[in-house]
Structure 1
Amino acid sequence: MKEFLLLLKKGNKSALLAAIVNAVIAIIKGIGFSMTGNVALFAETMHSAADTANQLFVFSGSALSKKAPTDRFPNGFGRLVNLVLLGAVLIVGIMAYETIVEGIHHIIHPTHSSGLTITLVILAASTVLESFVLYKAMKEINHELGIQPTGFAVVTQAMANMGKAKPATKLVFLEDTVATLGGLLAMAAVIIAYFTPFHQAEGIASVIIGLLMFMVVGKVFLDNAAGVIGESDEEMEDKIGEMVMNDPDVKDIQALTVVKEGEDLHVELEIELDPSLTVAQADDIKDRLEEKIMQENGVTDVIIELDEDDGIQKWAEDHKKSDLIEK
C-alpha cells in the first residue's frame, strides 16, 4: 500500500487536476440538464463525465508506469501508460456515441428547452474552468520540453510542440481543447435555439461535440497503439547521433535506436572506436557518452556497444540517403 501511494505521487499532475475539475463540472452540468432538459447541456455533461473517467485512468496509468522493474517484468512498466490510455479511450468512445445519438434524436424531434440563464451560466463557468485546465496542460507541455515561454508564447509553443509531449499530458491537452471548444459551441447553440425557431441547433451542437470526442479517441488510440508496439523517436535519434558523432574519439555509429516506452526513452547505441585504444580508454569514452545521453529529457537507460573502426562511414552515408529521400 505504501509503495502504491508513493507511485501515485509520481502520476501526471495535469491529468489529476483535469480529473478533479471535470468531475465538478460534470456534476454541475448534470444538475443543470435535469432542471432544463437542454440537449446541448446533456452533450457537455457526457463529455465532462467521459473526461473525468479518462483522466483518472491516465493519472493512475502514468503513476503505475513508474514502478521499478521486477524479476517477472525486467523491462519495467513504462508501456503500461499506453495500455491504460488504450482502455480509457473506450470510455470516451461510448460517451461520444451516446452524445451523437441524443443529438440526432433532437434534430429529428426538436423541442424548446427552458432555463436559458442557468444553462448559459453553467456552460460559461464550465468553459472558463476547462480553459484553465487547458492552460495548465500547455504549461506542462512546455515544462516537459525544458522551455519556459511567457505570455501568449505559452499557447503557441505548446501547440507547436504538442506532438513531443508525454502521452498523458497530450491526452489532457487534446481533451480540454475539445472541451473548451465544445462549451463555446454549446453556448452558441443554446442562444440560437432559444431566440429563433431553429430548435435543431442544440441537436446539431451535440452531434458536433460527439464527433470532436471521436477525433480525440482516434488520435489517442493511434498514438498509444504505436507506443505499445514500441515506436522509435527519430528526432531524438538524430539529436543523439549528432552529439555522439561530435565526440572526438568516436569514428562512426554502427547502429542507434531510441524507443519510446510510455513516457520513457530507451537508447541502444553501437559505436566504432580506434582499435589502438586500451580497454580502459574505451571504457572511459563509453562512460562519458552514457552520462551525456542520460542528460537528455526522457532518457531512462542507455546501452552502448563498442566495435573497432572499419574505415567506412555508415552513419554519414545513411543520413545522406535519408535526407535525399525526404527531399
Structure 2
Amino acid sequence: MKDLFQLLKGGNRSSLIAAIVNFILGTLKGVVFFFTGNVALFAEMMHSLGDSANQFFVFFGSALSKKSPTQKFPKGFGRLVNLVCLGAVLIVGILAYETIKEGWHHIWNPTASSGFWLSIGVLAIGVVMEGIVFYKAAQEIAHEVGIDHAGLKTIPLAIRNVNRAKPATKLVFMEDFVATFGGVLAIFAIILAQWTGFHAGEGIASVIIGIMMFYVVGRVFLDNARGVIGETDEEMLNHIAYLVLDHPDIIDIERLDVVKEGEFLHVELVAEVNPNHSLAYLDDVRDTLTEQILYQKGVNRVIVSFDEDDGEQEWHHREARPLLS
C-alpha cells in the first residue's frame, strides 16, 4: 500500500486537478438540470462527468506507468498510460452518444426549460473553473516542451506544441478546451432560447457539444493507439542523431531508435566506431554518450552499443539536425 501511494505521488497533477474540478461541476450541473430540465445543461453535465471519469483513469494510469521495471516486465510499464487512455475515451464516447441523442430529441421536440439565471450561473462558474484548468494544462505543456511561460500567450504556444506533450497532459488540455468552449456555447443557447423562444437551439448546442466530445475521443484514441504500438519521436530522433554524430569518436550510426514509452522516451543506439579503440576507451565513450542522451528532455532509458566501421555511410538519409523549441 505504501508503494502505491508513492506511485500516486508521481501521477499527472493536471489530470487529477481536472478530474476533481469536473466531478464537482458535473454534480452541480446535474442537480440544476434535475430542477430546470435544460437540455444544454444536460449536455454539459454529461461532458463534465465524462471528463472527470476519464481524467481519474488517466491520473492512475500515469502514476502506475512510472513503476520500475521488474524481472517479469523488464521494459517497464511506460505504455500503461496509453492503454488507460484508450480505455478512458470509451467512457467519453458513450456519454457523447447520449448527449447527441438527447440533443437530437430536443431539436424535434423542443420544450421550454425553467431556472434561466440558475442555469446561466452554474454554466458561468463552469466556464471559469474549466478555463483555469485549461490554462494550467497549457502551462504544463509549456513546461514539458521547455518553453517559457508567457501569460495568456502560453495558450497559443501550447496549441502549437500539444503533440509534444505527455499523453495525460495532452488529454486534459484538449478536454478542457472543448469543455470551456462547450460551456460558452451552452450559455449562448440558453440566452437565445430565453430571448427568442428558439428552444430547439438548446438541442443544437447539445449536439455540437457531443460532436466535439467525439472529436476528442477520436484524437486521443489515435494518439494513444500509436503509443501502445510504439511510435518513434522523429523530432527527438533527429536531435539525438545530431548529438551522437557530433561526438569525435562516432563515425556513423548503424541504428537509432527513439520510441515513446508512455510519458518518456527510450533510446537504443548502435554506433560505428574505429575498431582499433580499446574496450576501456569505448566504455568511456559509452558512458559519455549515455549521460548526454539521458540529459535530453523526456529520455529516461538509454542503451548504447558499438560496431566496427564498415566504411559505408548509413545515416545520410536521415535529417540529423538540432531540435528547435
The CA deviation at 1:113 is 1.1
Structure-2 residue corresponding to 1:27:
27
Q: Residue 257 of structure 2: SS of its match in structure 1?
A: strand
Cα displacement string for residues 78-114 of structure 1 (whole angstroms, at most 9, x for unaligned residues): 1110111111001000100000000001001000111
Cα displacement string for residues 109-130 of structure 1 (whole angstroms, at most 9, x for unaligned residues): 0001111111111111100000
**Structure 1 position 152 matched with structure 2 position 174:** no
Letter in 1 for 2:6: L
Letter in 1 for 2:318: H
1:38-117 alignment, distance < 5 Å? 38-117=38-117
Q: Residue 67 of structure 2: SS of its match in structure 1?
A: coil
The CA deviation at 1:306 is 0.4
1:1-327 alignment, distance < 5 Å? 1-316=1-316, 318-319=317-318
Letter in 1 for 2:276: S
Does the CA-based 8 Å contact 2:238-2:318 persist in structure 1? Answer: no
CA distance in 1, matches of 2:293, 2:249: 16
Q: Residue 251 of structure 2: SS of its match in structure 1?
A: strand
Q: Mind listing any 5+ residue stretches in structure 2 that lack a counterpart? A: none
CA distance in 2, matches of 1:248, 1:183: 57
Q: Residue 169 of structure 1: SS of its match in structure 2?
A: helix
Does the CA-based 8 Å contact 2:233-2:260 persist in structure 1? Answer: yes
Q: Structure 1: which 4+ aligned runs deviate by more than 2 Å?
A: none
Does the CA-based 8 Å contact 2:166-2:263 persist in structure 1? Answer: yes
Letter in 2 for 1:235: E
Letter in 1 for 2:43: A
CA distance in 1, matches of 2:70, 2:270: 27
Q: What percentage of residue pairs aligned between the two structures are identical?
A: 59
Q: Residue 319 of structure 1: SS of its match in structure 2?
A: coil
Structure 1, 22-31 or 5-14: larger mean CA deviation: 22-31
TM-score (norm 2): 0.97
TM-score (norm 1): 0.96
The CA deviation at 1:199 is 1.1
Q: Residue 260 of structure 2: SS of its match in structure 1?
A: strand
CA distance in 1, matches of 2:147, 2:128: 26
Letter in 2 for 1:37: G
Letter in 1 for 2:229: I
Count of matched residue pairs: 321
Q: Mind listing any 5+ residue stretches in structure 1 that lack a counterpart? A: none
Cα displacement string for residues 43-68 of structure 1 (whole angstroms, at most 9, x for unaligned residues): 00000000110000000000011111
